[in-house]
Structure 1
Amino acid sequence: MRIVLIAYDFPPVPSPQSLRWAYLVRELALQGHEIHVLTPDLPGYGVGGLPVIPATVTIHRVYPGPFSAFLRGRQTRSIAPAPAGTVATEVVQQAPPPGQSGHAFHELNWKGRVRYRLENGFSERPVSSLNWKGRLAEKCKAGLSYFLFPDYRAEWLPWARKCLHALLEDVRPEIVVTSHEPACSLPLGLEAKRLGYKWVADLGDPVLATYTPARWQDRAGELERDVCLKADLLCVTTEKTAELLEHRHGAGIARRLVVTQGYDASFVDEPSLAASVTFDADKLELLYTGSFYSFRRADALIDAVASVPGMRLSIGTINAPDYIHRAVAEHPGKFRLLGFLSHRTALSAQRRCDVLVNIANADPVQVPGKVYEYLGAKRPIVHMRGADEDATSELIDAVGGGWHASAQSGELAEMLRALKVMKDAGQLPEGAGNPERLVSHSWQRLASLWSSEALRLSNVADVDIGGRVVSQVISTRK
């Protein structure tokens, strides 16, 4: 099956949506599908450790727009060549001045910090982390996002649309897929559908979300409705999201498929990774790896950890908010900032701590992708709910992965105190008590589920030749 994936976030960008499609693309390519990825020509930020994309995948990188190109130093940054055969074939299509680029990862200089701020506009961060260039760029971003929907990243659309038309004519795919977030990929899916191609909208979370700016809520709702009614297949990450979209837009929405975020069942820990983050056997070691937002705060967790002796919370994040820095300064033995961890380092640390910590989003239908990574680590999870009931709590209950509590410091402290007693008695349980339900969330299983549904949609059948599943085209697009 020939697939064109339109993804604004894709490696080397290490965002959750980038990771989602890095894993799915890897597994789909290993199944024998022909995959082309349309994505902006952007550098990564932080350190690497992302999944290796098979060399059979062709990545078409297009000019991201003038502001993003200027901000990310497209004309001046140096490129470290990747080892031969370890990354996908790259086709770079960008505006003048022309240039060829490959994968590279950069430490967080001022451009990297600005890039993080732009990608995480809702995070709370200490202003002092940026110099005048960063503050100026932040103002420019805010200005562009005021006029461009859904935000400044929509500036890539003219170049992406031109490349998409050429790619569709050249590849003639059976399926076109759009990855959301950000929502600037969705108009390209609508364009492909208008041209007669089968379209899978990997919507993940709703376009109209709790954090959508007020000025864009009507437009976000309209775009969400267009996607739900015009896509051939609607992919979401939770059943609650599917129910919400059906409630909003009626029974006429596209056929839906729940493909959760996942974990890598093939991950193998390595001594070099284990040595980078160490834990104290005498303490109850808690670990949080993820971002902080205005709709994902850890105040109650900080208060609870500070009040219970014999434990430490380690935090792996690219940029911690002020209240986290204050906690580290006031209680250096209780809190530890690890900085930005590479993806593989984070996976390793998750498997060696005592308890993994998750903080709910404000929207109860959302399950952060980190939760599935946590489940794959097979360590118990403490989930701090943002509502009386949320999709993450239901997932943890179904898999048997841990416990959840309300965002009240007293309730959390009581739970943590009980876990410390369990550790001291050698009775701290493993996570993921239901192996069959756990394995259904592996990227390998999820890719097979996605592939089966896409094959049915595209009129392509699976043929087993010598034990290897390949795709046979039954009919092409109309």
Structure 2
Amino acid sequence: MRVLLIAYDFPPVPSPQSLRWAYLVRELALMGHEVHVLAPDVAGYGAGGLPEIPGSVQVHRVYPGPMAGLLTSRAQRRQARCAGAESSGPAPAQAPADPAVESVPEPVLNWKGKVRHAVLGAPYQAIRLARRLLGFRAFGRGLNWKGELAERIKRFMSLWMFPDSRAEWMPWARRRLDQLLEQVPPDVVITSHEPANSIELGMHAKSRGFRWIADLGDPVLAPYTPERWRRRAGDLERRLCEQADIVSVTSRAAADILHARHGLPLGRCLLLTQGFDARFSAAPDEHGDICFDPQRLELLYTGSFYSFRRIDALLHAVLATEGVRLNVATIVAPAELVRAAHEHPERVRLLGFLSHRRALALQRRSDVLVNLANDDPVQVPGKLYEYLGAGVPILHISATADDATARLLAETGVGVFETDDPGALSARLAALVQAKREGRLPCAQRGPGQLSDYCWQSLAARLSAHLAPAD
């Protein structure tokens, strides 16, 4: 079948939604489907290592709007300069350094810098603090003043653009969508949310008579939706439930919410969780130069931090327990984590923003993978599904033992739950340290059928079965 995916986030962007559709597109193409992708021409960030998209997939890039276009142009010029510098010859030899640490000197401000400091305020001060404490760019992107200013402009645009500044691509996306619907008419159009503006493009395709599958990460009206957009988000969610032929969701709880709010029949709802790549195999150079100590219990957390995803209790437990080291790979480290890494480098190690493939390889070498629960007990973090493929036990930290993640781990036997309490966590870590010393650290047991439903290959097969209308 011919599939047209509309996705704002798609490689080279390394977001969770981009990874989701990179894997699903790859698998659909390998099944023999003709896949087209409509996506903005935006610059990626981070260290790369994203899933390789088959050559048969046609990605149609469109102008992302004035602000995103300007940032992309700047990024492309910067990449071209870096490529030119690399081709000019090898750099002088330097002393080896920690691979996860980039040395950055403390900036000396001239008068323009002082003005910038006064205008940008707290974000700039936070970055200076991290550099002063750790001597490196702790925040993956390492924004300079231009980057900080751009972020502020995007936040301002998001005050009047729904759902946020990414809506600026809509005029160009709609024009290109109409061309594709004429030139390569698809059997089915799929929209990837977030952001929510892709939903309006799906509605446009539906109004022209095309089958439409709406893929939702979370409900459009979510707890984090800004108050100014809640009514509009709720209305868009209602119209989506009325018009989409299939609504795919990442959790049963999301399906229940849509059914309760808008009467969405469960028969039109497809459960497509996040997943792991059953095809992954680390190349020799992807094992990397990040070493784990066989004499210590090596914990690993790979992912982002939010106000609802806190690490305080685990930090206290790690610092109170001998023989444990917490390793964290993230784009933006919380202040308390930065401080702990500076004050206790033997207990807490920041690895920076790793490429996707390096993160997967590192997960498979750790002793225990850490998962931090969201505040909403019905949500299962997408990172948890990625962990499932590592074959390493998972320590899930939550305020309640009855959340959806704890139930999933109990069903699959790949991890344990511990309450979000420093004392209880310290006792759990001490037991794991002793278990490792005695050679009885539990392995993640993956019985037949227990985890196969959560690999991207199975999820893509489930999606493929719904591309065409049911007989």
TM band (smaller chain)? 0.7 to 0.9
Shift of 1:79: 6.2
**Which one of 286, 293, 300 corresponds to residue 313 of structure 2?**
300
The answer to whether the 8 Å contact 2:401/2:418 transfers is: no
**Which one of 365, 389, 403 corresponds to residue 416 of structure 2?**
403
Shift of 1:68: 0.9
**Which one of 174, 185, 188 corresponds to residue 172 of structure 1?**
185
Q: Equivalent pairs: percent with the same residue?
A: 55
Q: Distance in 2 between matches of 1:338 and 1:199?
A: 41
The aligned residue for residue 437 of structure 1 is 450
Q: Distance in 2 between matches of 1:160 and 1:253?
A: 31
1:28 aligns with 2:21: no
Shift of 1:365: 2.6
- Is the partner of 2:201 in helix, strand or coil? helix
Q: Distance in 2 between matches of 1:7 and 1:386?
A: 34
The aligned residue for residue 53 of structure 2 is 53
Q: 1:407 to 1:37 in 2, by over 3 A?
A: same
The aligned residue for residue 278 of structure 1 is 291
The answer to whether the 8 Å contact 2:43/2:75 transfers is: no
The aligned residue for residue 99 of structure 2 is none
The aligned residue for residue 5 of structure 1 is 5
**Greater mean alpha carbon deviation, residues 237-246 or residues 336-345:** 237-246
Shift of 1:135: 2.9
Shift of 1:414: 1.8
RMSD over equivalenced CA pairs, Å? 2.1
Q: Distance in 2 between matches of 1:350 and 1:441?
A: 17
1:236 aligns with 2:284: no
The answer to whether the 8 Å contact 1:276/1:345 transfers is: no
The aligned residue for residue 365 of structure 2 is 352
Shift of 1:163: 0.5
The aligned residue for residue 64 of structure 1 is 64
Q: Counterparts of 1:61-140 in structure 2 under 5 Å?
A: 61-73=61-73, 77=77, 126-128=126-128, 130-140=143-153
Q: 1:413 to 1:454 in 2, by over 3 A?
A: same
Q: Which amino acid aligns with 1:64?
A: P
What CA deviation, in whole Å up to 9, does each residue of 1:354-383 have, x standing for no partner?
A: 000011122323222211111100100011
The aligned residue for residue 464 of structure 1 is none
- Is the partner of 2:326 in helix, strand or coil? strand
1:366 aligns with 2:379: yes
**Greater mean alpha carbon deviation, residues 46-55 or residues 364-373:** 364-373
Q: Counterparts of 1:148-163 in structure 2 under 5 Å?
A: 148-163=161-176
The answer to whether the 8 Å contact 1:350/1:356 transfers is: yes
The answer to whether the 8 Å contact 1:124/1:294 transfers is: no
Q: Distance in 2 between matches of 1:265 and 1:76?
A: 33
Q: 1:244 to 1:406 in 2, by over 3 A?
A: farther
The answer to whether the 8 Å contact 2:378/2:403 transfers is: yes
The aligned residue for residue 310 of structure 1 is 323
The aligned residue for residue 394 of structure 1 is 407
Shift of 1:196: 1.0
- Is the partner of 2:220 in helix, strand or coil? coil
The aligned residue for residue 91 of structure 2 is none
Structure 1 runs not aligned, ≥5 long: 81-106, 110-122, 460-478
Shift of 1:283: 0.2
Q: Distance in 2 between matches of 1:426 and 1:185?
A: 51
Q: Distance in 2 between matches of 1:393 and 1:79?
A: 43
The answer to whether the 8 Å contact 1:362/1:387 transfers is: no
The aligned residue for residue 212 of structure 1 is 225
- Is the partner of 1:168 in helix, strand or coil? helix
Q: Which amino acid aligns with 1:277?
A: I
- Is the partner of 1:440 in helix, strand or coil? helix
1:450 aligns with 2:463: yes
Q: Which amino acid aligns with 1:16?
A: P
Shift of 1:407: 1.9
Shift of 1:138: 2.4
The answer to whether the 8 Å contact 1:210/1:363 transfers is: no
1:15 aligns with 2:15: yes
The answer to whether the 8 Å contact 1:365/1:390 transfers is: yes
Shift of 1:438: 0.6
Shift of 1:222: 1.3
Q: 1:181 to 1:75 in 2, by over 3 A?
A: closer
- Is the partner of 1:363 in helix, strand or coil? coil
Q: What TM-score, normalized by structure 2, do the two folds share?
A: 0.85
- Is the partner of 2:374 in helix, strand or coil? coil
Shift of 1:433: 3.8
1:423 aligns with 2:436: yes
Q: 1:11 to 1:208 in 2, by over 3 A?
A: same
Q: What TM-score, normalized by structure 1, do the two folds share?
A: 0.83
The aligned residue for residue 201 of structure 1 is 214
- Is the partner of 1:455 in helix, strand or coil? coil
The answer to whether the 8 Å contact 1:124/1:322 transfers is: no
**Greater mean alpha carbon deviation, residues 140-149 or residues 66-75:** 66-75
Aligned residues: 418
The aligned residue for residue 92 of structure 1 is none
- Is the partner of 2:39 in helix, strand or coil? strand
Q: 1:189 to 1:124 in 2, by over 3 A?
A: farther
Q: 1:420 to 1:444 in 2, by over 3 A?
A: same
Shift of 1:204: 2.2
- Is the partner of 2:389 in helix, strand or coil? helix
